[in-house]
Amino acid sequence: MGSHYNRVPMTKDKVLDAATPAQTVIVQAGESLQDAIDSITDATSEKTYLVLVYPGVSRSYTPKDNVNVVFLEDMGGGGGGGTPDDGSVTAAKLDDALAAILPESVTFSISPMSPGAYQCDVSIQLKDAKGNNIAATTEVRLWLSDTPGGTVASILPNNAEVVTAGVQLYTYVSYGHWAWLSNESGVIAFTLINTAFPRTYYINVSINGRVYTSPTAVRFQEPDPIEP
């Protein structure tokens, strides 16, 4: 196995290539952290910006709600790349910084549906860039669709969902499109209720502009016919 100490130091271009350009700002020595934060004027609710700060930049700044600031020199120690105070910025440190801030994947748990079942339990676990469960409240957008990754479903459930984990911050379309805040374990859970058959829904979660879709659909099926 190779050592983190042998990694080639990251450059500004490499950092930008590894991150999401529209949502990541790099601040290097000699540049102003506050100016970088002030340059971010997009306050779209579902978008969060990441500011990666190289060593040698003043730590004095005024926070902004949709901006997360990470000082790369703090990512030494347990995470890799150089020594904690040598000022180096390595791929390992960048990985640690991104993993600490940016959700990277989602796992879905959907209860099996038998014919005639009108409730479906859904649980969503948000994960970081290293595949670990996120241990923090996280805002996402969530909606039901007719096709994987599609727009909001044309016909939605005929009953309101029941929230079991997390908080619905805002409803864009009743019974089908919401802004959610996960609980402190990065979990969103709810029960879909529908008594009109048949109905099929995919569950979509958008985090930082990236959309994740449930690998299986929620299928509300016609009840089996009653034997005469």
Instruction: Collect all residues with Cβ–Cβ distance below 8 Å to 108 and sequence separation of at least 6.
Output: 122, 123, 124, 203, 214, 215, 216
Positive or negative: CA dihedral 202, 207, 211, 213: negative
Query: Residue 13: its pLDDT value, please?
Result: 56
For residues 179 and 90, state if they share a domain: no
For residues 8 and 88, state if they share a domain: yes
Confirm whether 76 is domain-assigned: yes
Distance in angstroms (rounded) separating the CA atoms of residues 225 and 46: 45
Distance in angstroms (rounded) separating the CA atoms of residues 182 and 2: 37
Query: Residue 3: its pLDDT value, please?
Result: 32
For residues 164 and 132, state if they share a domain: yes
Q: Please report, for the domain that includes residue 121, its CATH number.
A: 2.60.40.10
Query: Residue 87: its pLDDT value, please?
Result: 52
Instruction: Find the domain containing 62 and state its range.
Output: 4-101
Last residue of a domain, one of 59, 79, 101: 101
Number of domains the chain contains: 2
Query: Residue 39: its pLDDT value, please?
Result: 87
Query: Residue 206: its pLDDT value, please?
Result: 93
For residues 108 and 214, state if they share a domain: yes
Residue 1 has pLDDT above 70, yes or no: no
Confirm whether 60 is domain-assigned: yes
Could you tell me if 121 and 189 are in contact, meaning their C-beta atoms sit under 8 angstroms apart? yes
Query: Residue 120: its pLDDT value, please?
Result: 98
Find where tokens 């449930």 sit.
214
Last residue of a domain, one of 44, 71, 101: 101
pLDDT tens string 127-177: 987 788 988 899 999 999 999 999 999 999 999 999 999 999 999 999 999
Pairing mode, strands 210-213 and 218-220: unpaired
216 or 93, greater pLDDT: 216
pLDDT tens string 101-134: 666 789 999 999 999 999 999 999 999 877 889 8
Could you tell me if 140 and 205 are in contact, meaning their C-beta atoms sit under 8 angstroms apart? yes
Distance in angstroms (rounded) separating the CA atoms of residues 82 and 89: 8
Query: Residue 166: its pLDDT value, please?
Result: 97
Positive or negative: CA dihedral 165, 166, 168, 172: negative
For residues 62 and 151, state if they share a domain: no
pLDDT tens string 47-92: 678 888 888 888 888 888 778 888 877 765 443 444 444 555 566 7
